[in-house]
Amino acid sequence: MSDEEHHFESKGDAGASKTYPQQAGTIRKNGYIVIKGRPCKVVEVSTSKTGKHGHAKCHFVGIDIFTAKKLEDIVPSSHNCDVPHVNRTDYQLIDISEDGFVSLLTENGNTKDDLRLPTDDSLLTQIKVNILSIHTQNSFIENYASFTLTFSNQTNANFFFLIDTAFLRFIGPQTDIN
């Protein structure tokens, strides 16, 4: 896997690596792994016993954290795998502007206004309508709304919004809600 070029974005300091090595036998369910050059959340791990060829093998099933596609890989348990650096940040959704920008509230009280939704008017309208309809249908029970969005760089991402009586909370991009 270390010979493959990784095609996902990274943020960090100059020289920062997108991944770090970890022994395959130590990677567990709900962890992360790079499969076929894509960062994935591990949803299933099985380990075979040592055979006549000398290595126990780990079978990984993962879900791409950006496209939600299912990927699989088999790696000797003693070999290193690439593990992506994954940071999850929760935001409160403040507003979706008419020009397609999302206004989010960070944990420290600042606003983040640099996330632009797709420019497709029908998709943007659908997102607004779905969020408002879920919020007005039942203001006493928590609801989840999810959307798959395509950004200007053609990256797909799943976005989840937690909607309750107090606020709209942006939870994505994620492939599931814990």
**CA 54 → CA 50, 57, 61, 77, distances in Å?**
6, 10, 23, 11
Instruction: Give the HSE-up count for residue 144: Cα atoms under 13 Å, Cβ half-sphere.
Output: 12
pTM of this prediction exceeds 0.75: no
Q: Please enumerate in sequence order all residues whose Cβ is within 8 A of that of 165, keeping only pairs 6 or more positions apart, or say none.
A: 139, 140
**19-84 under CATH 3.30.420.40, yes or no:** no
Tens digit of pLDDT for each residue in 120-169?
777 767 776 776 665 555 444 444 444 444 444 444 444 544 444 334 44
Cβ burial, residue 145 (10 Å; 0-12/13-18/19+)? middle
Q: Please enumerate in sequence order all residues whose Cβ is within 8 A of that of 12, keeping only pairs 6 or more positions apart, or say none.
A: 85
User: Distance (Å, rounded) from C-alpha 54 to C-alpha 56?
Assistant: 7
Between 3 and 124, the more confident residue is 124
Cβ pair 24, 81 in contact under 8 A: yes
User: Domain 91-170: which topology?
Assistant: OB fold (Dihydrolipoamide Acetyltransferase, E2P) (2.40.50)
Position 150, amino acid: T
Domain regions of the chain by residue span: 19-84, 91-170
Helix (H) or strand (E) holding 29, with range, is none
Tens digit of pLDDT for each residue in 74-133?
999 999 999 999 887 888 878 777 777 888 888 898 998 888 876 677 776 777 677 666
